[in-house]
Structures are given as C-alpha cells and as structure tokens.
Amino acid sequence: MNKEATAPLRADRATGISPEIVRSERKSLEAHSRLRFVHWLVVFLSIVLTVSIWQYSRVQIALRTEARFDHAANQVADLIRERLQKYELALWSGVSALKTHDNDVDLARWRTFAANLEIEHRYPGINGIGVIHQVAPEDLQDYLDRERRDRPDYRIHPPHDGDIFQPITYIEPVDINVEAVGLDMVHEANRHTSLNQARDTGTAQITGPIILVQDKGRTPGFLFFAPFYDSDDPSTVESRQASFAGAVYAPFVVKKLMSGVLDKDRRSTTLRITDGDKIIYDEIHAEDSDYDDDSLGEKRISMPFYGREWMLDIRAGLEFRARNSGFESTALLIAGIIIDLALLTLFFLLSRANRRGLRFADMATEALNAESRALQDTNQKLELARAEAESASEMKSVFLSTMSHEVRTPLTAISGILVLLERAGLPQKQNKLVQAGKMASDKLMKLLTDVLDSSRLEADAVELWEREIDVRPLVEEWRTLAEGMIEKLEKDITVVTEISSDTPNRIIIDDIRLSQVLNNLMDNAIRFTETGTITISTFAEEGSPGQVASVVISLADTGVGIAEEDLAGIFERFRQVDGSLTRARGGAGLGLAISYDLIELMGGDLDVSSQLGKGTKFELRLPVRGVQKKGDDIA
C-alpha cells in the first residue's frame, strides 16, 4: 500500500474521524482542483455586468455632457443679451444727460460725460458713445455755425438730396472714431431705417450688419440707438415724429464686442452669429484652433431684440471635449475587464492551490499525531490559565465590592462623627484638629470614589441615566459649587459664566455624570490657580445649516498652565504633570482620566489646550440628539 493511501488512515485514527468522511472530503477537494461550470458562470455573469455598467455609464455621461453643453450655450446667449442690456443703459444715461441740459450739450460737456462713463473699462466691446441730432434744412446753417465754433473743420458727409439731416455731432473717444464725425445717417438706408424705428417706437434699436467707417478691418458691425425728444413724454407715433430731436448712439464692431463679452479663452464653445442671411461673427471653421470635427454638441438659439433677430449657432469645441471626454465609461470597461481576468486567474490559482493543498495534507498527516497531542496539552494549559484569569477577575470584582462596602461604611461614619464634632463647639485647637480630620476624610472618600469609578470604567460596568435637563440652571449650580470651594480655600478667584444665545435651553444627558466631570475639572482648575478668573462658557456648534450638532462646554482658568510636551499624557491614569505641584495641591491623577472616559462614554469629546504660566482650557463637546434650531428646546 502506497504512502498516499495510508496517510489519511493514520489521520483517521489520530483524529477520530471515520474513513468514509475522509474519503468523501478528499473526493470533494479533488473535484475543486479543476475549473467547474460554476466558475465559468461567475466569469460570464461578471462580464455581462461589466458591459451593462459600461453601457449605463455611457448613457449617463452622454446626458451629462448634453446638459453641460446646453448650459454653456445658454450662458453664451445670456451673456450677449446681458451685455447689450448694459450698453443700452449707457445710452439711456446719455439721453438723461441731454435732458438735464434741455437737449443742448456742447462738445466739452459731452466729453466730460463720456470720460466719466470710463467706456474702455466698464463697457468692453463698445467703440464709443456719441450724439446724433436731427436737423431740418432751414436750421442747417445755424447748426453748422454753432458746431464750427469749437471745430472749424466740422462738416456733414456724404452729401445727399434728402429733406432732413441726421449727422453724428459728437463721438467719444474721437481719436478712434474721427471718420464718423459728421456722418449723416440719411445717406444709408440701414442706418436711417433703424434710427427712424427708434424714433417711432421710443425704444432702443440696433441696425442690421454694417461696415463702420472707422473700422480699418472692414468687419461686420452695427449701431445702437436710444432716441431723445424735445417734449417730455410723447405717447404716440405722430408725437414722437414731431418732437424727435436725435439719438444717443454707440458703434460696435462685432468682433471687438465678442472679445469683450465672451473672450475665447473663457469658454469651451465656438460661435457663429447670423443677422438675417448675413454672418456677422464666425468661429465655426476648420482654421479655428478650437474647431472639433466630431463636435459633442450643436445648438441654434434665436435672439430677437432691439428690432433685429440674431441667430446663434453654438458648437462644442476641442476644449469642451477635453473637459467632458467621457473617459469614465472607458475606465469602467477597462477596470471591469481587468477584474474579470483577475477573477479567472483567481479561480485557476485556487484550483492549483487545492491540488497543492491535497499534496501538502498528505505530507502533514505524518506529523499530525504528535502535533495533536501537543495541541491538547497546550489547550489544557490555556484552559487552566483562562480559569485562573477568570478567577482573578472575579476576585478583583469581589474585592472592589467588599472595599466599596467595608471602607465606605466606616469612612462615612467617621465623616459623620467629624461633622458632629465640628458642630459641638469645641475649643479652637481641638476644632482645627476636627477640621483637618474632616478634610482628610473627604479626600479619602473622593479617592475611594475615583478608584471605584476607574475600575468600573475599565470593566465597562458604568451605565448612563440620561434625562432632559435645563442647561442654564445646571451651569449656575456649577458656578455656585465652585464659589463655595474657592471660599473654603480662601483664594482670590472669580468665577464667570458665559452662556451663548445659540446654546439649546434643554439637552438630554446624564446630568450626574456630567456634573462629576465638571466638578473634576473645576477642582483641578481651583487647585492650580491662586488668583485670577475661572470662566465657564457654553455655545453650540452647527452641523447642517441652522441645526445644532453639538454643545460645547468650556472651562478656562488663569492658573499655572501645562507645558506643551505634557499635554499628550494629561488624560492617562495616575499621570501627574508635575509631582511637586500635585503634592502641594493634592490629587491622585485619576480625575482627568475618569472625566475623559465618561465624556467618551456619552459619545462626546474632551480637549485641552494650555500655555505654561498663562492658564489651561478644557472643552467638552457633547453630541445633541434630535434636530432643532439654535436656542430651541429639544423635542
């Protein structure tokens, strides 16, 4: 009989497992040493899930991209509309300036007005701002004489045979618009029609596409008119025509306007603007650096305003593609394929591991008998050690319980006797001895209580008894107790309370344990402060907007302080920062550790900050359950 056949039988005798079970388990392991149908099914389902997630992510990314493009396209239209509305306000401000001077503004005043507008800073894209006057033939010579006082070379151009004149009287800044000075709107139908439309409607109007005389680049532009009248409020077309005095206007080069409104570096779309059948601005061409052959989005927006209708063709550019590449779906697909391959590799490795495990099991069976006996011996020793540990724990509990009853009872009796002696009217010398004994008794009782609390906290045997309490009376009670302690110690310390208005009026807490913590901290502050101030303050910390997440109770003193290197171990049991100070002022090093554990048990946090020689500040941060506004009671 070979080794592989005999080894399992030895294991059977050593472990007490029947040979049938051993053969059955071995057969199951051999079956799992090769890939089975369930493995291939898992891989197939994983691939299906990967493809499904990939398709879903593609759809979601496409929807997200479409929404982002719509937002970007609408933003372009909104910015153009907003900027033209801003320019319109500038024109109407010019009309207001004319009305304040009865429509009689000379060149100097207009220059002052235009300079105060700060066109180049406040209205980027505008070429200037000017005044057009309507002049009847019989008033033409007087008009020319008046304007030539300041500008002898002023003239109206080009000549025409019309029965009215509508020349540009002023335009600022004049240096870049000098060709426009004196230009008559009547000479060209587009300008004349739009100006008359503004006259008849009493509203701002823009012309169709024109080439501005001052534009050296000969690119499309337009004029923006705001009419003004001799009468105050013409309400009909006839009255407007009869009292029309002229218009405040602004010339625009569309390319310059777009550079001011929507600088190419600030957006991820390309734009084409059409007025009627004329393209007045165009970025959608292959020569544009941001042109995308396979754009992620296209949209047309009609914008009727100021007597014209602009058609915006907006197209996503290369920068938009860079920001919305949709690589997430591809990354998901790649990650899914990697996971599927890793899963298949894992199945292969597990099958191989099963085969190797069988071989190793045969090898390990030879040593099983000796190891099992050693393990039994170890288990017996561990069981004995566990029993001893449990016995020791029980003895500790019994000891603590016994000490609680046996020590507290006589100590309470001693304290009672000392109180009676204190009230018995003994001579001064004997009364001092009674006072000393009473103080020692109180310290011993506190030490005993701290030791028992520390033991209970270590054993997780402390239970909280929570109830709804009033915050303000509790803080005042702490203040009263602190003042009593200070009076007894005859120290020059002032206790101040600061309750913030956002502190909830009522909270749910174990007030007995909370008072224990505050008494420990207050005792610590009084012992290490000779003169100065101890401040108890409360305030709320917000979680979600308008909701209180926690209540912070702060206790700050002006005592000796704690060195920075000692702060890390301040909450350790029996840890005292300065032994000489502690011996002089009392304390066993348990109060802060117990306070920290109690606050942690309440679900809160206790922090300390200090400067040596300047004082110490403790902050209790307690969670507030329920949802309430600052300053409200908890429901």
Q: With 60 as the cut, is the pLDDT of residue 57 above it?
A: yes
pLDDT in tens, 524-540: 888 888 888 999 999 88
For 597, residues 6+ apart whose C-beta sits below 8 A from its C-beta are 457
Q: Distance between alpha carbon 381 and the CA centroid of its chain, in Å?
A: 58
Radius of gyration (Cα) for the chain, nearest Å?
46
Residues 558, 537 contacting (CB under 8 angstroms): no
pTM of the model: 0.48
What confidence tens digit (pLDDT) does each residue in 4-43 have?
444 444 445 445 567 777 777 777 766 666 777 777 888 8
DSSP character at residue 135: B
* Percentage of the chain modeled with pLDDT above 90: 24
Q: Which candidate, 342, 337, 347, places its Cα nearest to that of 40?
A: 347
pLDDT value for 505? 82
Q: Angle at Cα 182 formed by Cα 176 and Cα 183, nearest 5°?
A: 85
Cα–Cα dist 582/528, whole Å: 9
Cα–Cα distance, 225 to 88 (Å, whole number): 8
CA-based torsion, 611, 616, 618, 619: positive or negative:
negative
**202 Rama sector, left if φ>0, alpha if ψ -120 to 50, beta otherwise:** left
What pLDDT score was predicted for residue 203? 95
User: Strand 531-542 vs strand 492-499: parallel, antiparallel, or unpaired?
Assistant: parallel
Taking only the tens place, the pLDDT of each residue in 352-364 is 777 777 676 677 6
Share of the chain above pLDDT 70, in %: 80
Q: Cβ atoms within 10 A of the Cβ of 149, count? A: 10
Q: What is the Cα 277 distance to its own chain's centre?
A: 49
pLDDT in tens, 239-292: 999 999 999 999 988 887 777 566 777 778 888 999 988 998 888 888 888 888
